[in-house]
Amino acid sequence: MDAYELLTRNAEEVVTDEEIRDLAEDPAGKRAYVGYEPSGVLHLGHLLTANKLIDLQEAGMEVVILLADVHAYLNEKGSFEDIRETAEQMKAQFLAYGLDEELTEFVYGSEFQLEDDYTLDLHHLERETTMNRAQRAMAEIQGDETAKVSHLVYPLMQTLDIEYLDLDLAVGGLDQRKVHMLAREKLPDLDYEVRPAIHTPIVANLTDGEGKMSSSEGITISMEDSTDELEDKVNSAYCPPTRDPEPSEDGTERENPVLELFEYHVFPRFDEIVVERPEKYGGDLTYDDYEDLAADLESGELHPADAKGTLATYLDELIAPGREKLHELRD
């Protein structure tokens, strides 16, 4: 796979394609980042962006993982001490998941976001940005709470991180796109360069294929799940035999989350997927391409129950090293 393909595969959006093509010309040693508000346990949302980081490392890029402790504090995720402790656990799980230790740098936000220069630049950005603009950038990150001043400072700091971490590329889930757009608009006001961004998709809710899978609502799969829990979750997932399920009765769009998990989580990390079946049901099926598996589900060749069983097995293999690490850390 060439560098451009590695950078863009499974991306929902790249901003802009031309800038990403430039970067793909010579990716070696270039720096990409993702920031996460620390939470103790990694879930599939984290792992989807981590898969992209692994792609970038394969293309020779260096990766910075920002443990966004100050952002988590602003977003009321706990006391500063608790946030720091959970960040350490996160770090260990990312490495267990398969990020290359040599090409990964972990940085705490508080290491540079409380410095004088950063603070002064932040105040400069505050002067350049209307409250309305900052609030819009936060809409998908903040949830339903009433906006506080901290929610307006948050996207401005995220904007500055791109400059202060000396990055060539910002990566994030699609929920981060408005912050990255704000950054593209505002960094030039401070005479800083604009950087490209890559946004990963957000998987639909496992139980009904509607909306977005999230750790705060509905079911998500995390590094904490036992093999049995994971199997139960996957087996109860919504999986009609199609890529394009009908909207629900109230008109809400639906996806097939089982297929999405194969596409975004399993195929990028395994060369070959084997669906084990007894001879009397046609014997094993082997896939090296997501499209073939999706086509077989649509044609009826692959039964949803077999697809789910296989998905659970591969997801379990992906989360097992992180799960062990978590147990080690807690003992």
Q: Binding site residues for ATP, as ranges?
A: 215
Residue 104: beta bridge partners? 63
**Contact pick of 55, 62, 69, 161 for ligand IYR (by CB under 6 A):** 161
Site string (53-92) toward ligand IYR, x via CB under 6 A: -------------x-x--x---------------------
Is residue 35 a contact residue for ligand IYR (CB under 6 A)? yes
Query: Which residues ranging from 173 to 202 are in contact with ligand IYR (CB under 6 A)?
Result: 176
Residues 49, 89, 158, 256: which binds ligand IYR (CB under 6 A)? 158
- How does 308-329 read in b/e, with b if 16+ C-beta sit within 10 Å? bbbbbbbbbebbeebbebbeee
**Distance from C-alpha of 300 to C-alpha of 249, rounded to nearest angstrom:** 25
Q: Which of residues 122-151 bind ligand IYR (CB under 6 A)?
A: 141
Beta bridge partners of 155: none
The residue range among 56-64, 169-177, 245-253, 300-308 that interacts with ligand IYR, by the rule CB under 6 A, is 169-177
Using the rule CB under 6 A, is 168 a contact of ligand IYR? no
CA distance 291 to 236: 23
Q: How far is CA 251 from CA 245, 303, 331, in A?
A: 12, 27, 48
Binding site members: 33, 154, 158, 161, 176, 215
Total interface residues for ligand IYR by CB under 6 A: 13
First to last CA, the chain: 41
Q: Is residue 172 a contact residue for ligand IYR (CB under 6 A)?
A: yes
SS3 3: helix
Chain positions contacting ligand IYR, by CB under 6 A: 34-37, 66, 68, 71, 141, 158, 161, 170, 172, 176
